[in-house]
Structure 1
Amino acid sequence: MQVVVFKIGKEEYGVDIQRVQEIVLDQKRTKLPNFAEYMEGVINLRGIIIPVLNLAIKFNLVAGEDAKSTRLIVLNLEDDKKIAIIADEVTEVLTITEQEIENIDNFTQTTNKHCISGIAKLKDKLVILLEVGSIVDAEELPKIDLELLESKTAK
């Protein structure tokens, strides 16, 4: 499996490259009212409105300081939905074997456990593998869709 590896603070995360549509420079976001705190707002990417998530807030992490390396990773969800996640830095693309992936069920009871598909044990580091389809709480996506639909019909 190939994964795009990125940093949030000092931690390294990975997402399946097949779910990555593209990686873009950070850009201005439009805040939407009454959304979860980790929902940073939306961006207009070539005419497509995409919700932006701040995983540092969702996972209770300290984000990095260097805004020059900040990127948005645009991910494809089910039903042609898209989200973007904020990465302090995108570092590499790795090929990871099944033998290098440790199941997390054995040692964690966190509330965000459903977002993590495993941990890649590499010779010089650990990479937390994210389950793209579970990053957004299921109840948040319908709210996003409703808000975007209302904004389109208001024009």
Structure 2
Amino acid sequence: MNDTLTPPKTASAATAVGPLEVVTFTLGKEEYGIDIQRVQELRGYDAVTRIANAPEYIKGVVNLRGIIVPVIDMRIKFNLGTPTYDQFTVVIVLNIRGRVVGMVVDSVSDVITLEPGQIKPPPEMGAALDTDYLIGLGTLEQRMLILVDIDKLMSSDEMGLVEKAAA
């Protein structure tokens, strides 16, 4: 059975069907974007219940209306320095393949629509940078967005938060 939620493999495939609507957020000085269709809700950052022996980037879990949701700090995951939590810190609650996951970011900016011509493929960086989790780079006037393939990232072996679909 085919997994209809499998994201496109390349930027050109991602944009071939038309515009991409993304939620933009910041981590440090960089601006990122993820497909709005994966976002269930936005919440302020609250205390989490820490899980023993979990990787540092998994902050813990929260109870979201009866669902236990793992919470990942993306600043720690992407090695972007020590996170600080303030009134702007947001948890983006994602629904990926039926699994709910929380993602801590510094702030959420807005929702934008990128046309196919505004999305460039990720740069070839060799082993220096893992671009497997990138859809590409979105350009909007003077802004550059790093477009994250959140399905791939959350279902990676390293994260192990969303089971891979059976082939």
TM range (shorter): 0.7 to 0.9
Distance in 2, Cα, partners of 1:33 & 1:126: 38
CA shift digits 1:12-47 (9 cap, x unpaired): 111100010010111111111222221111111111
The answer to whether structure 1 residue 87 and structure 2 residue 115 are counterparts is: no
The answer to whether structure 1 residue 41 and structure 2 residue 49 are counterparts is: no
Kindly state the Cα deviation for residue 112 of structure 1 after the two structures are TM-superposed.
3.7
* Partner residue, 2:86: 67
Amino acid at match of 1:18: Q
- Structure 2 unpaired stretches of 5+: 1-19
Amino acid at match of 1:130: V
Q: What TM-score, normalized by structure 2, do the two folds share?
A: 0.77
The CA RMSD measured in Å over matched residues stands at: 2.1
- 1:135 aligns to what SS in structure 2? helix
- Structure 1 unpaired stretches of 5+: 146-155
Kindly state the Cα deviation for residue 111 of structure 1 after the two structures are TM-superposed.
5.1
**Paired residue for 1:29, among 48, 56, 59?**
48
The answer to which of 109-118 and 37-46 deviates more is 109-118
Q: What TM-score, normalized by structure 1, do the two folds share?
A: 0.82
- 1:69 aligns to what SS in structure 2? coil
Equivalent pairs, count: 143
Distance in 2, Cα, partners of 1:49 & 1:112: 30
Indicate conservation of the 8 Å contact 1:7/1:89, yes or no.
Answer: yes
Matches within 5 A, 1:2-151: 2-62=21-81, 65=84, 67-78=86-97, 80-107=98-125, 109-110=127-128, 112-136=130-154, 137-138=156-157, 140-141=159-160
Distance in 1, Cα, partners of 2:82 & 2:30: 9
Distance in 2, Cα, partners of 1:28 & 1:66: 10
Distance in 2, Cα, partners of 1:41 & 1:17: 24
- 2:104 aligns to what SS in structure 1? strand
Work out the percentage of aligned pairs sharing the same amino acid: 35
Kindly state the Cα deviation for residue 106 of structure 1 after the two structures are TM-superposed.
2.9
